[in-house]
Amino acid sequence: MDSNLIIQGGRKLSGTVEVRGSKNAATKLMIASLLSDEPSVIENVPFISDLDVTKELCEKIGSTVDISPDRICHITTREVKTPLVPELSRKNRIPILALGPLLHRKGIAEVPVLGGCPIGHRPVNLHIEALQKMGARIERRENSYYAEAKELHGEHVIFPFPSVGATENVLLAATLAHGTTIIENAAIEPEITNLVDMLVGMGADIAFNQVTRTVEIHGVSKLHGTTIRVMPDRNEIMSFAVAALATEGSIFIPRIEASYLGSCINALQRVGGKIDEEEQGIRFSGRRPYKAIDIETGPHPGFMTDWQQPMCVLLTQAEGKSSIHETVYDDRFGYTKDLVRMGARIEVDKTCPAKPCRFHGEYFHTAHIVGPASLHAAELVVTDLRAGMAHIIAALIASGESRITGIDHIDRGYEEIDMRLRGLGADIIRA
Ligand code: EPZ
C-alpha cells in the first residue's frame, strides 16, 4: 500500500524505545542456515520487508520458515528443492550470498541480480572474483547470476577494500570448502561477528582476527543446525539517538551495549550530546547549542556510512561549519537537496577535506553543513532507506506539517517506525 507519513514537527522525544534485531545481520543468518539440512533457530528477527524478501528466497529454495510473533525464526532446509531462483518479487543485496551454500548443496545455483538503495555504484566484482578463485564458474545472465562448481576449495583472498558483503560471501562459501581459506583485509563489522558466531555454532572452523582484519577458515565436511540471536540494529540505535538529540529530548534504549557503538557515541558526544551508559542500556539526550564537527565515514570501526544521514540533520542544528566526508559510497548525499529545501545550508562537493580518498575529484561525496538553521516543513519523497530516516528526523524538528511519501523504502529496514516514534511523543501518523 502506498501510504504517507504525516509529521507535525516540534515535539521533544522522550521515553524508552526497544531497538529491533539488525536487518543487516538477520538476513545473513537466514542464508547461513542454508548450509545445513538441520533446523536452525534465529532469535530476535525484525519484522521488516527486507526479511520478507529473504524468507521468500529461502522458501523458493526449499526451506521451511516459521517466524513467530515473539520474533523467533525456525528455519530448516532439509532438501534444496531448487538451487535456481532467478527471480524474486523484490530486489535487495542478499541473494548473491546464497551462491556458496547452494553450490555446496547442489553444485549449481542461480540468484537474481542485486538491488538495494540507489546510493552510488555498487559492483559485486569482489564477490564474483573470490568465488571464481574458489572454483566456481559464474555467468552473468540478463537478470541473474548462474554458477556451477563440482567442489569449492580454499583460497587466499585479499580484498582491496573491506567489503561487508564480499567478506560474508567468502565466509559462507569457505566453511564447507575443501581446504583452508584466508581472507585478508576483511570487513569486521559487528554484524559479521554475529554471522561468524552462527557459523561456528553450526560447526564451522573459523579464526576471526579483528585486529589484523584476517579470517582463517578451515573447511569442514558438514555443518549442523544451531540457535543464534540477532544483534541489535546499530542503524536503529543511531537513528533514535539522533532523533532524541535533534529534538532536545531524552530517550533510553534498553539492552544495548557501547561495545559496538564506539564511533557513534564518540560523534554524538563531540556534538555535545549526553550519552549515559546505564546498567540496563544507554540513555541519549541533548540540548542546544550543539557543536559543529567533521566526520568521515568508513568501514568498522569507523563511523558507519549508514549513520551519516541522521547525523547530517543533527549537524544542521550545530553552531558553525561541519563536514561529512563519505568514503564508502560515491553518491550518498542526494537527500541533502531536500534538507536544503527545508532551510538547511548544505553544499556537496567533490573534494576531500583531509587525506584524498578513492572518490577525490570525481564524485560529490563531501557535504559541508553550516548551522544552526531553522527547518520548515516540506513534501518529501524517500528514495532510499537511510535517507528516509534523515527526512523523518528533519520533519520532527521542522516547523509545520511535513508529508513523506515513498515510505516502503523505510519499511525495508525500520519496523513500524511511525508507531515507535509516536511512543516517544512524536506527532507522526501513517495515512
Ligand atoms: C552492506 O552493504 C550493508 N548492506 C549496507 O547497508 C552498508 O552500508 C554497507 O554494508 C557498508 O557498511 C547489507 O548488509 C545488506 P560493501 P554491502 O560491500 O555489503 C564497494 C543499509 O542502508 N564494493 O561493504 O553491499 C562498494 O561499491 C545498507 O542498510 C566493490 O567495489 O557493502 C562500496 O563502495 C546500505 N565491489 C563499498 O565497497 C564489491 O564487490 C562498500 O560495499 C563489493 C563492494
Q: pLDDT per residue over 195-218, tens digit each?
A: 999 999 999 999 999 999 999 999
409 lines ligand 1 (CB under 6 A): no
Contact call for residues 86 and 61 (beta carbons, < 8 A): no
With vertex at residue 89, the alpha carbon angle to CA 88 and CA 95, rounded to the nearest 5 degrees, is: 35
Count of CB atoms situated within 10 Å of the CB of 90? 13
Which grid coordinates belong to 4? 504517507
* 177 alpha carbon – ligand 1 mean position (Å): 24
Residue 118 is given by DSSP the state -
Contact call for residues 256 and 70 (beta carbons, < 8 A): no
Residue 359 burial by Cβ neighbours in a 10 Å radius (0-12, 13-18, 19+):
buried
What pLDDT sits at residue 92?
Answer: 85
368 lines ligand 1 (CB under 6 A): no
What pLDDT sits at residue 354?
Answer: 86
117 carries an active-site annotation: yes
Residue 337, phi then psi, degrees to nearest 5: -60, -40
Contact call for residues 339 and 380 (beta carbons, < 8 A): no
What pLDDT sits at residue 118?
Answer: 73
Alpha carbon distance 325, 156 (integer Å): 32
pTM beyond 0.95, yes or no: yes
Kind and range of the H or E run holding 412:
none
Measured between alpha carbons, how far apart are the two ends of the chain, in Å? 10
Ligand 1 atom 18, closest CA = 163
The residue-averaged pLDDT of 17-24 equals 98
Which is the CATH superfamily of the domain at 23-229?
A: Enolpyruvate transferase domain (3.65.10.10)
Instruction: Reply yes or no on whether the pLDDT at 122 is more than 90.
Output: no
Alpha carbon distance 321, 353 (integer Å): 12
Contact call for residues 5 and 394 (beta carbons, < 8 A): no
SS3 78: coil
User: 23-229: same fold as 5-20+232-430?
Assistant: yes
The residue-averaged pLDDT of 295-305 equals 97
Contact call for residues 190 and 261 (beta carbons, < 8 A): no
Q: Which atom of ligand 1 is nearest to the CA of 305?
A: 8
With vertex at residue 121, the alpha carbon angle to CA 120 and CA 124, rounded to the nearest 5 degrees, is: 140
127 lines ligand 1 (CB under 6 A): yes
Instruction: Reply yes or no on whether the pLDDT at 320 is more than 80.
Output: yes
Alpha carbon distance 387, 194 (integer Å): 26
What pLDDT sits at residue 114?
Answer: 78
What are the Cα distances from residue 273, in Å, to 289, 291, 318?
10, 9, 11
Give the annotated binding-site residues for phosphoenolpyruvate: 23-24
Instruction: Reply yes or no on whether the pLDDT at 165 is more than 70.
Output: yes
Which grid coordinates belong to 408? 516502503
What pLDDT sits at residue 406?
Answer: 94
What pLDDT sits at residue 116?
Answer: 67
The chain-wide mean pLDDT, for the chain, equals 96
What pLDDT sits at residue 209?
Answer: 97
The residue-averaged pLDDT of 394-402 equals 98
Contact call for residues 268 and 239 (beta carbons, < 8 A): no
Pocket test for ligand 1, best of 30, 48, 90, 161 (most atoms within 8 A of CB): 161
What pLDDT sits at residue 1?
Answer: 55
Angle between helices 308-315 and 234-246 (to 10 degrees): 10
What pLDDT sits at residue 59?
Answer: 97
Contact call for residues 77 and 34 (beta carbons, < 8 A): yes
Give the annotated binding-site residues: 23-24, 93, 306, 328
Give the up-direction half-sphere exposure of residue 310: CA atoms within 13 A in the CB hemisphere.
27
* Tens digits of residue pLDDT in 276-290: 999 899 999 999 999
Instruction: Reply yes or no on whether the pLDDT at 396 is more than 60.
Output: yes
What pLDDT sits at residue 120?
Answer: 76
Count of CB atoms situated within 10 Å of the CB of 186? 27
SS3 358: coil
Instruction: Reply yes or no on whether the pLDDT at 222 is more than 70.
Output: yes
Contact call for residues 107 and 150 (beta carbons, < 8 A): yes
What are the Cα distances from residue 121, in Å, to 92, 188, 349?
14, 22, 17
Residue 387, phi then psi, degrees to nearest 5: -60, -35
Instruction: Reply yes or no on whether the pLDDT at 426 is more than 60.
Output: yes
What radius of gyration do the chain's Cα atoms show? 22
Dihedral sign from CA coordinates of 419, 422, 423, 426: positive
CATH class of 5-20+232-430: alpha beta
Q: Domain ranges in the chain?
A: 5-20+232-430, 23-229
Contact call for residues 77 and 85 (beta carbons, < 8 A): no
* 118 alpha carbon – ligand 1 mean position (Å): 12
Q: In the chain, pLDDT over 70 holds for what percent of residues? A: 99
What pLDDT sits at residue 91?
Answer: 82
* 347 alpha carbon – ligand 1 mean position (Å): 25
Contact call for residues 52 and 35 (beta carbons, < 8 A): no
- Please, which residues have CB within 8 angstroms of residue 202's CB and are 6 or more apart in sequence? 32, 35, 36, 40, 175, 223, 224, 225, 226
